[in-house]
Structures are given as C-alpha cells and as structure tokens.
Amino acid sequence: MIAGLLLAAGESTRMGSPKPLLDWGGEPLAGYQVHQLQRAGCGLVVVVLGSRAGRVAPFVEALGVDVVLNPDYAQGRASSVRAGAAVIPPTPEWVLVLGVDQPRPARVIRKVIAAARASTGAIVMPVFRGRFGHPTAFSGRLLSEMCAVEDATLGLRAVVRRHEKEMEFIEIDDPVVRTDLNTPEDYRRARADRKRWRG
C-alpha cells in the first residue's frame, strides 16, 4: 500500500487566505491534491488539518480520505507529520509527503511512486535540473521515525540526513516538482499555466 500524507494545517500567513481553499481549476486546492494522489495510486490518503480546520474539513471529508486534526499546528510542520504518520497503518510500502501548497499532477506523482517501488533504498526524491523537489517518498520502514520528528531537531530533514546513504533521486524534466505557493504572486503565476496541472 502506498500512502499519501498531505499537510494542510498551516496558517497561510503570506498567502493571506487559506491555501487549502484556493481555487484550483474549479475545485479547492486541497481537493485537487487529494484527487491527484488517489489517481496516481495512493491507496490511502491522510490529510492533516489545523488552522481553519472547520472551513477546510467539509471539502476533504467526502473524498475518501483520513482527516486528522493537528491542534499543535502552530508549533511547526513536524507536528503535522507526526499527527499524520500516527494514523498510517504500520506496514505501508511507501509514504509520500506533500504540502497542500505544492500542487502536483498525478503524472508526476506516478513517476515518484514507480521509482520508489523499483528502489532498494529508504528515501526517493524527485529532482529537476539538480534541484530537489516534492513529493518525497519514505520507505514504510521509516514510519516510526516519522512519528517522532521534532522541529527542534530539523523534522523530516533529520530523517533524510540519517538515511542519506540510502537515498535515491529521480530526475523529472518538469519544473512543477519545484512549485510552492507561498504568496499571491506564486499563486497567480502557477495558475496562469493551467496545462501543467492536468493529471
């Protein structure tokens, strides 16, 4: 089983409005992300909510996902990773971690999943022209480490550092693996190229 962990608990301070609810081709961004993860082959999708959870939850609860509320979201991203990882069954093949502000079409996610399934390593990361992208795939045997990450000790980066020698990279010739929607300008620029986001 491939699990997708979608982190959607942040406060969206720089964006100025909740990122999970941004319009993305006629549906909320969180809904787009869930659909792409499912279409790519994630048998389980866990969505972690925090800030404005009451507004976001109705849009994702009907999509066949596990919704987790992280009351400690203000402490940082690691708290959401812990909350989401804690509800993933103990024997996934791989766990793909993606932020809700990192839209990825299913075709890209499929390539990461295929590379992970062919890998003998512990972590698979997409790369575009030498620069790291997302989603990152973590072997299911690292799930216990994901359940214990702390922002004070670098969160998931600490897991990556511990397993550097077991990392593999997949080159993806598409800049979408680097897209982050942090500001209104990021959002406008990404939406202007709609063809890139088709699954």
pLDDT in tens, 49-98: 999 899 999 989 989 899 999 999 999 999 999 999 999 999 899 999 99
**Is this prediction's pTM over 0.75?**
yes
Phi, then psi, of 62 in degrees rounded to 5: -90, 5
Contact (Cβ atoms closer than 8 angstroms) between residue 31 and residue 61: no
pLDDT of residue 138: 98
Task: For residue range 8-30, list pLDDT tens digits in order.
Answer: 999 888 898 899 999 998 999 99
Query: Does CATH place domain 2-191 in 3.90.550.10?
Result: yes
Could you state, in order of their start, the residue ranges of all structural domains in the chain? 2-191
Q: Considering only CA atoms, which of 184, 131, 140 is closest in space to residue 159?
A: 140
Q: Is the pLDDT of residue 193 over 90?
A: no
Q: What is the mean pLDDT of residues 94-118?
A: 97
- Who wins on pLDDT, 136 or 91? 136
Band of residue 197 on the pLDDT scale cut at 50, 70, 90: confident
> Which burial class, exposed, middle or buried, applies to 116 when counting CB atoms under 10 A from its CB (0-12, 13-18, 19+)?
buried
CA angle 2, 194, 32 (to 5 degrees): 35
Closest among 35, 49, 28 to 4, alpha carbons compared: 35
Tell me what pLDDT residue 159 has: 97
